[in-house]
């Protein structure tokens, strides 16, 4: 396939598989000016697929940084109502939402940690209805990524400037199964394979997981009503969409107060345009009681203090170390990709859909069943080729799930 053919296939994939646009459906696209050309392809594909109306919101790394550097403290404690109304109307119309990420991983480096945390807290609170719709899959949503020059330079510093963006394009195409036949058909088969893993875990109904690796000895209790899910999600109307492209994970939620021990990251966490790395979290009865980082200590502390739920876990995800992204040995400095190269956990909000009947429950009911509630949800990578995971059944029987970073069954 030529580069142009791969671009076209990627745009089609985002529309037909990512958000799975339906006839007459509205589509909101959030992206940056670095993705302008690709966004045009997506808009055309969406209309060709029958979308009713497509609206694109463009951002810019430099403009975003200007806001964080120069906006008043007063403005940091309010959130634009028109942004809230736009998301609310999309939800009311049962529309779809697509993010096309091209952000510089370092775009907000040097911004005070408390300012970043305030933004997270204020925006999370204002967009509560929108977050609820996304976390419960009430609308179709998907995140994909395209290269920008600054991101590509971060990933491939050893290449010349002219080689960096093309190299990142080719790496992204491989992660989303483009260039290996029909991409749409490849994705349907890929999701089917992931669902077979989820089915095995759901049939087991493990009570706990025990992780061991260098720097990690962690036990996570699972809610009795927990469900293992994959990247293939479904709206209440039954429309299947892929929230993350790429995706290699099967995931569920932990019991909020059922996490004990310590865990160390194995890949950097890019949070609010900054990097947090070399960190270790210690848990007691679910809560983070100690957080240490070699890079980004202040930001890590702010992250786990955004609200009460940000000091607890909301997601447990299993990804084999020999996944295609891991095998590429590329560090993307982008959670969308790096989380799919590694077992990972998430600080903050739990997905209600990971509980039987959870989509129909209110926050109080979800909390009673062990789900964590927060305005944040930040994945961090903990997997490696040295990680073992045991599943502990309700009767105490211990079974291997992962050995040396790979599925044990």
- Residue 140 has φ and ψ, to the nearest 5°, of -80, 135
What was the pLDDT predicted at 322? 84
Closest by CA to 249, choosing from 344, 348, 386, is 344
Which segments of the chain have a pLDDT < 70? none
Task: Please state the pTM of the whole predicted model.
Answer: 0.90
pLDDT at res. 184: 86
Strand 96-101 with 140-145, pairing: parallel
Give the per-residue pLDDT at 231: 85
Q: What percent of the chain has pLDDT over 90?
A: 88
Structural domains of the chain, with CATH: 3-175 (3.40.1830.10), 205-229+246-407 (no CATH)
pLDDT digits (tens, 9 = 90+) for 43-57: 999 999 999 999 999
SS3 call for 100: strand
- The per-residue DSSP string of 331-357 comes to --S-HHHHGGGS-EEEEEPPPGGGBTT
| Cα four-point dihedral sign 355, 357, 362, 367 | negative
Nearest Cα to Cα of residue 191 among 141, 133, 252, 240: 240
pLDDT of res. 273: 84
């Amino acid at each position: 396939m030529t580069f142009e053919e791969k671009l076209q296939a990627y745009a089609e994939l985002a529309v037909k598989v990512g958000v799975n646009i339906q006839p007459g459906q509205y589509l909101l696209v959030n992206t940056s000016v670095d993705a302008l050309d690709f966004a045009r392809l997506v808009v055309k594909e969406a209309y060709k697929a029958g979308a009713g109306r497509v609206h694109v919101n463009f951002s810019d790394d430099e403009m975003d940084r200007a806001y964080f550097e120069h906006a008043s403290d007063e403005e940091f404690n309010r959130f634009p109502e028109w942004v809230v109304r736009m998301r609310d109307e999309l939800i009311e119309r049962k529309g779809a939402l697509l993010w096309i990420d091209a952000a510089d991983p370092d775009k907000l480096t040097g911004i005070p940690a408390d300012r970043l945390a305030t933004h997270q807290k204020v925006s999370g609170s204002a967009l509560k209805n929108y977050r609820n719709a996304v976390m419960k899959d009430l609308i179709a949503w998907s995140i994909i990524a395209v290269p920008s020059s600054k991101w590509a330079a971060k990933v491939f510093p050893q290449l010349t400037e002219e080689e960096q963006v093309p190299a990142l394009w080719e790496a992204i195409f491989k992660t989303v199964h483009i260039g290996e036949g029909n991409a749409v058909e490849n994705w349907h088969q890929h999701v089917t394979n992931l669902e077979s893993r989820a089915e095995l875990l759901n049939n087991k109904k493990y009570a706990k997981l025990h992780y061991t690796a260098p720097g990690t000895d962690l036990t996570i209790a699972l809610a009795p009503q927990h469900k293992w899910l994959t990247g293939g999600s479904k709206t209440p109307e039954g429309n299947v969409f892929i929230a993350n492209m790429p995706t290699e994970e099967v995931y569920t939620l932990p019991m909020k107060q059922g996490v004990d021990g310590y865990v160390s990251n194995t890949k950097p966490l890019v949070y609010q345009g900054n990097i947090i790395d070399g960190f270790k979290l210690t848990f007691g009865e679910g809560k983070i009681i100690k957080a240490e980082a070699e890079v980004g200590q202040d930001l890590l502390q702010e992250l786990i203090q955004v609200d009460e739920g940000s000091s607890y876990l909301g997601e447990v995800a299993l990804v084999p170390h020999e996944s295609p992204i891991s095998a590429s040995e590329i560090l993307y400095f982008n959670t969308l990709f790096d989380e799919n190269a590694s077992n990972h956990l998430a600080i903050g909000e739990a997905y209600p859909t990971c509980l039987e009947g959870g989509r129909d429950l209110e926050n109080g009911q979800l909390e009673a069943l062990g789900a964590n509630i927060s305005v944040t949800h930040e994945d961090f990578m903990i997997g490696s080729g040295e990680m073992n995971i045991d599943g502990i059944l309700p009767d105490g029987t211990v079974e291997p799930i992962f050995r040396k970073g790979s599925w044990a069954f």
